[in-house]
Structure 1
Amino acid sequence: MFLQDKWRFLIVTIPIKQIRLRKLNMRLKHPFTTSFGTMQDRHFFITEVLDDRGNRGFGESVAFISPWYSEETVETNLHVMKDFLIPILQENEIKHPNDVSALFEPIKRNLMAKSALEGAIWDLYAKRNKMTLANALGGEKKVIDVGVSIGIQPTVKQLLETIEENVDAGYKRIKIKIKPGWDVDVLREVRSHFPNTPIMADANSAYTLADLDHLKQLDDLNLMMIEQPLAHDDIIDHATLQANMDTPICLDESIHSFEDTRKAIQLGSCKIINIKIGRVGGLTEAIRIHDYCQKQGIDVWCGGMLEAGVGRAHNIALTTLSGFTMPGDTAGSSNYWEKDIISPEVIVHDGVITVPDKPGIGYDIDEEALHEFTVDEKVFQF
């Protein structure tokens, strides 16, 4: 693989001595509403992998407490990590983080569980080699442009006020969640108030091809894209919709792998792809998708899953790859949390994040905050 070739001089065995799974519960500053429902309490796992030198690599699970985004949940992540994935790691030698996805291949799907462990091993690998995670992935950018995702608001007035706050803060793109009954008219109102702001709509699979004529009205609004308008597992109907719309379609939930990506592009199902590390099973697969899209001339950007600081740091590192041509969802920590679990927190200045230059994810773990938000913990010795 590309990364193994590029960093072949660094490939040595990664001696894992311990894995720690911490279950956290953090409360979002504001409820976050999509077409699926509303959430404010965020339950997830922080994975920690310890080596023989005392280096600690960190990852983060992104599944939700209910299976409304995908079939995975917080509890299924625990089951799969504890009973299947960690035993695989205990029984095998790892020379490079790319090995992890291959070792996990016999376990079907459960991509977010796989990603949570693989991400921690990538961070550990970078720290062992005294390099940033961004550099370990092949990234070169020193700063990244970021946008913000805004959930469905109680009123249009509140939506406009929220957009204005984020535009004033310098965010490079505004993503607005939509659903039937909260879509075209709302976006028209938004566009009338913000005629030049880069705006996209995210439907989270809320529509069908029966809504084609309704969705075509979006072509008049000069949107950057509409994200995942149709079924979460579809690439066929999206091709029909894209052929009948000028607005670029971006696929999210439909893309779980390099193969999904290849087929969607071949069918003409989209013009843009949102790469989420957890959704595709980890950083190794995310890079494969990035590399292929770059060769095919397909724009990609890094989506968010309401991550805390560790997951946010992984997103930053991935976005340093050259093919990420559009602002992602990695807004600052303070947009979501009163207190994050990293130090310093992720900070956005005028819509830009400066990529940290410390080894690994580049942020320190706030041990006090991590302890405060931990509700359960399991340790696995090697």
Structure 2
Amino acid sequence: MISFKKLIMHRLKMPLKFPFTNSTTTVKEKDIIITELHDQDGLIGYGESVAFDYPWYTEETADTVQLIIEHHLWPAIKKQEINHPTELKLHNIRRNHMAKTAIEGAVWDLYAKRCQQPLYQAIGGVTNQISVGAAIGLQSNEKLLIEQIAKALEQGYQRIKLKIKPENDLAILEKVRSHFPATPLMVDANSAYTINDIEHLKKMDRYNLMMIEQPLASDDFTNHAKLQHEINTPVCLDESIHTLADVHTAIALQSCKIISIKLAKVGGFTNAIKIHDYCQKHNIPVWCGGMLEAGVGRVQSLALATLPNFRLPADQGASNRYWHQDIITPEVEVNNGYVTLPKQPGIGYQVKLPSTDQKVLT
């Protein structure tokens, strides 16, 4: 039986090595909350909130996460005793999935440590090796973009994801394909298009893309279905997928052929595993998208990607691709296109936090 005695929230700002730009925003630093959860025996589990400081991706921000954890999630879990993380009861608190993931991830880490299992085994993973790809944001010019792709391929990344928007997407794809004709390539639109762009999006079929991720609005399942019917390139839904019910809708309407599961966006491992299993049953491949995670969130997302239906390379690459210094030791490394997770209990890494704003909850 596990009971929870103390929660420490650490809040820190981590500057990215390079700004990351998509169709809606540019991120230069990440406002991160690390949760440190203590059980009755003094063991510690860690979680991470990956919410941004502005609600451009979902309605959550680092500020809302801190408030929800302090005033609602911690009061809820400190009264509970559980045998397994799936018994954690948070359903009476609606949405706030990133806040829930910061708590639930710490519970799973704690549980795996108590069981003396690596986290990936505790959740049902089948391997500790995960193939990874590189995500490349919008660049100021084509020359820089080509250089960034070449560098990522030299480092062993197994596929390239490009952020796109309507202004110059086809010109960029033409340039990239002329330099890298056989490289596995996907694009991510972050809802930059509408169904009125369908003829334009059809032209992307010529570039042999693995997928186009979230081309239309996050709540628009019907028009994604219309688009998928008209184009050969697989549509992948990301921002549309928050719950298992969203997956039911997407599959029933044939809105996509691939789904991106982001741990924080669906509320943690328990929900992510249910979504994974349902997609596997319906032969819909899944892959693990990235949220510019620091070390704790990075390795927990990689652990999720060890489940068998994660058939495409994950977004979570090496720590030093994003951070001057990560908060885990050793840092995540990529070798020959793979991350190998350690076999130590829990997340398998030591958490080394700098001086942070702390809030201790008992």
Q: Quick check: 2:100–2:268 contact (8 Å CA) kept in 1?
A: yes
1:38 Cα deviation from its structure 2 partner: 0.7
The reply to whether residue 14 of structure 1 matches residue 11 of structure 2 is: no
Question: Which residue does the alignment assign to 1:328?
Answer: 314
Pick the aligned partner of 1:314 from 297, 300, 304: 300
Taking the aligned partners of 2:54 and 2:82, their CA distance within structure 1 comes to 33
The reply to whether residue 34 of structure 1 matches residue 34 of structure 2 is: no
Taking the aligned partners of 1:14 and 1:133, their CA distance within structure 2 comes to 17
Between the aligned residues of both structures, percent identity stands at: 53
Task: Tell me which amino acid in the other structure corresponds to 1:160.
Answer: I
Taking the aligned partners of 1:230 and 1:342, their CA distance within structure 2 comes to 36
Question: Which residue does the alignment assign to 2:211?
Answer: 225
The reply to whether residue 180 of structure 1 matches residue 180 of structure 2 is: no
Q: String of CA shifts for 1:237-261, please: whole Å, max 9, x gaps.
A: 1000000000000000000011111
Q: String of CA shifts for 1:31-63, please: whole Å, max 9, x gaps.
A: 000111111111010011111222110000011
Question: Which residue does the alignment assign to 2:59?
Answer: 71
Task: Tell me which amino acid in the other structure corresponds to 1:303.
Answer: G
| Long gaps (5+) in structure 1 | 1-12
Taking the aligned partners of 2:82 and 2:13, their CA distance within structure 1 comes to 31
1:191 Cα deviation from its structure 2 partner: 0.8
Question: Which residue does the alignment assign to 1:199?
Answer: 185
The reply to whether residue 138 of structure 1 matches residue 124 of structure 2 is: yes
Q: String of CA shifts for 1:271-290, please: whole Å, max 9, x gaps.
A: 00000000001110000010
Q: Quick check: 2:101–2:267 contact (8 Å CA) kept in 1?
A: yes
The reply to whether residue 90 of structure 1 matches residue 78 of structure 2 is: yes
Q: Quick check: 2:3–2:80 contact (8 Å CA) kept in 1?
A: no
Where 1:357 maps in the other structure, the secondary structure is coil
Question: Which residue does the alignment assign to 2:50?
Answer: 62
Q: String of CA shifts for 1:321-356, please: whole Å, max 9, x gaps.
A: 111100010110000001000000000011111121
The reply to whether residue 371 of structure 1 matches residue 354 of structure 2 is: yes
1:22 Cα deviation from its structure 2 partner: 0.6
Q: Quick check: 2:120–2:128 contact (8 Å CA) kept in 1?
A: no
Taking the aligned partners of 2:131 and 2:337, their CA distance within structure 1 comes to 6
1:95 Cα deviation from its structure 2 partner: 2.2
The reply to whether residue 254 of structure 1 matches residue 237 of structure 2 is: no
Taking the aligned partners of 1:350 and 1:19, their CA distance within structure 2 comes to 38
Q: TM-score, normalised by structure 1?
A: 0.94
Question: Which residue does the alignment assign to 1:282?
Answer: 268
Taking the aligned partners of 1:39 and 1:266, their CA distance within structure 2 comes to 35
1:236 Cα deviation from its structure 2 partner: 1.1
Question: Which residue does the alignment assign to 1:265?
Answer: 251
Q: String of CA shifts for 1:210-240, please: whole Å, max 9, x gaps.
A: 1000111000000000000000222111000
Taking the aligned partners of 1:182 and 1:18, their CA distance within structure 2 comes to 51
Taking the aligned partners of 1:61 and 1:322, their CA distance within structure 2 comes to 25
1:183 Cα deviation from its structure 2 partner: 1.0
Q: Which runs of 4+ in 1 moved over 3 A?
A: none
Taking the aligned partners of 2:280 and 2:83, their CA distance within structure 1 comes to 28
Where 1:118 maps in the other structure, the secondary structure is helix
Taking the aligned partners of 1:339 and 1:31, their CA distance within structure 2 comes to 16
Question: Which residue does the alignment assign to 1:152?
Answer: 138
Taking the aligned partners of 2:143 and 2:86, their CA distance within structure 1 comes to 48
Question: Which residue does the alignment assign to 1:360?
Answer: 346
Task: Tell me which amino acid in the other structure corresponds to 1:378.
Answer: K
Q: TM-score, normalised by structure 2?
A: 0.99
Question: Which residue does the alignment assign to 2:328?
Answer: 342
C-alpha RMSD over aligned residues: 0.8
Taking the aligned partners of 1:93 and 1:357, their CA distance within structure 2 comes to 27
Taking the aligned partners of 2:21 and 2:83, their CA distance within structure 1 comes to 42
Question: Which residue does the alignment assign to 1:5?
Answer: none
Taking the aligned partners of 2:79 and 2:194, their CA distance within structure 1 comes to 46
Aligned residues: 362
Where 1:85 maps in the other structure, the secondary structure is helix
Taking the aligned partners of 2:147 and 2:354, their CA distance within structure 1 comes to 35
1:91 Cα deviation from its structure 2 partner: 2.1
Pick the aligned partner of 2:284 from 292, 298, 305: 298
1:306 Cα deviation from its structure 2 partner: 0.1
